[in-house]
């Protein structure tokens, strides 16, 4: 791998940086029947995903699930120690900026990054906005307000977020162009930004999940692709960047 002076690492969060899915995990810990409702509602496709999670949070709050319970669930969520080492060591080497680009939400991600000592490593976190109400309800909103103009992506991104557009917008905010972009992802919504990577860039695709399937079926990537299963493999690759 060639050494570069200025590179960007972009992380999807759920099942990429973290070894679980925040939106589902907090209910697996605190309200399994709401977790079932999410599964069934997501499968039948009757609600937009972020709206559905916001509704699940309201339902949990109404029955007395507390902020402490949700935050504690996030702090104990599976997160591989090799991923903490990989990010910490690459950041310490200089030259690398980190962006987290996730369809989870700002509260979930910041609670976990703080817990793992990684919050200062990230230049930006682009995700759905969330905040605690005084009552202890976590109020979650879509990144793109449903009443305003929507993104025009034709690759199949969900209504509230086109990660490809968000990645391009990040590049515009941080010129000049990075010598190399490394994108770590697993989900079908990571396919759109992966399509925008150049031949000098690299995609670290988790070998289970929707991204792998879309690459196999649709193709069209210009970047190098490395497949991985465990965070220890990401650590190995980061050591060579």
Residues annotated in the binding site for Mg(2+), as ranges?
12, 14, 186
Letters for 177-216 (x = contact with Zn ion by CB under 5 A, - = none) are: ---------------x------------------------
Active site residue 190: no
Sign of CA dihedral 172, 174, 177, 183: negative
Among 9, 10, 14, 181, the residue binding Mg ion under the rule CB under 5 A is 14
- 187 lines the binding site for Mg ion (CB under 5 A): yes
What is the H or E stretch that residue 99 is in?
strand 96-105
Would you say 32 or 156 has its CB closer to Zn ion?
Answer: 156
| Contact present, 238 and 218 (Cβ < 8 Å) | no
Count of residues of this chain found to bind Mg ion when the rule CB under 5 A is applied: 6
Active site residue 14: yes
Rounded Cα gap, residues 224 and 200, in angstroms = 8
Question: Which does residue 155 touch among Mg ion, Zn ion, none (CB within 5 to 8 A, set by kind)?
Answer: Zn ion
Task: Give the bridge partners for 134, in sequence order.
Answer: none
Shortest distance in whole angstroms from residue 139 CB to Mg ion: 23
Q: Per CB under 5 A, does 186 bind Mg ion?
A: yes
- The annotated binding site is made up of 12, 14, 186
Q: Which position among 9, 12, 90, 121 is part of the footprint of Mg ion (CB under 5 A)?
A: 12
Smallest gap, in angstroms, from Cβ of residue 189 to Zn ion?
8
Look at residue 12 and give the partner it binds from Mg ion, Zn ion, none, a contact being a CB closer than 5 to 8 Å depending on partner kind: Mg ion
- Distance (Å, rounded) from C-alpha 41 to C-alpha 59? 14
Judged by beta carbon distances under 5 to 8 A according to partner kind, the member of Zn ion, Mg ion, none in contact with residue 157 is Zn ion
CB-CB contact of 197 with 215 (8 Å): no
Question: Considering the rule CB under 5 A, would residue 15 count as an interface residue with Mg ion?
Answer: yes
Q: Which of 18, 162, 197, 223 binds Zn ion (CB under 5 A)?
A: 162
Question: Residue 153 binds which one of Zn ion, Mg ion, none, with CB within 5 to 8 A depending on kind?
Answer: Zn ion
Q: Which residues bind Mg ion (CB under 5 A)?
A: 12, 14-16, 186-187
Q: Which residues bind Zn ion (CB under 5 A)?
A: 153, 155, 157, 162, 164, 192
* Catalytic center residues: 12, 14
């Amino acid at each position: 791998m060639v050494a570069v002076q200025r590179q960007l690492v972009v992380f999807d969060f759920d099942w990429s940086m973290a070894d679980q899915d925040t939106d589902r995990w907090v209910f697996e810990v605190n309200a399994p029947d709401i977790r079932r409702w999410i599964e069934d509602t997501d499968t039948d496709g009757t609600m937009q995903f972020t709206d559905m999670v916001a509704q699940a949070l309201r339902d949990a709050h109404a029955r007395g699930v507390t902020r402490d319970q949700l935050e504690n669930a996030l702090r104990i969520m599976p997160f591989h120690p090799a991923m903490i080492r990989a990010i910490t060591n690459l950041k310490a080497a200089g030259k690398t900026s980190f962006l987290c680009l996730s369809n989870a939400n700002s509260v979930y991600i910041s609670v976990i990054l703080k817990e793992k000592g990684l919050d200062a490593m990230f230049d930006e976190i682009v995700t759905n906005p969330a905040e605690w109400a005084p009552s202890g309800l976590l109020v979650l909103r879509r990144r793109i307000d449903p009443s305003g103009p929507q993104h025009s992506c034709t690759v199949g991104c969900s209504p509230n977020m086109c990660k490809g557009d968000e990645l391009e917008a990040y590049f515009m905010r941080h010129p000049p162009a990075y010598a190399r972009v490394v994108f770590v992802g697993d989900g079908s919504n990571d396919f759109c930004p992966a399509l925008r990577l150049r031949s000098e860039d690299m995609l670290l695709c988790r070998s289970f999940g929707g991204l792998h399937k879309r690459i196999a079926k649709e193709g069209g990537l210009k970047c190098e692709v490395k497949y991985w299963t465990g965070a220890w493999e990401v650590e190995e690759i980061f050591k060579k960047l």
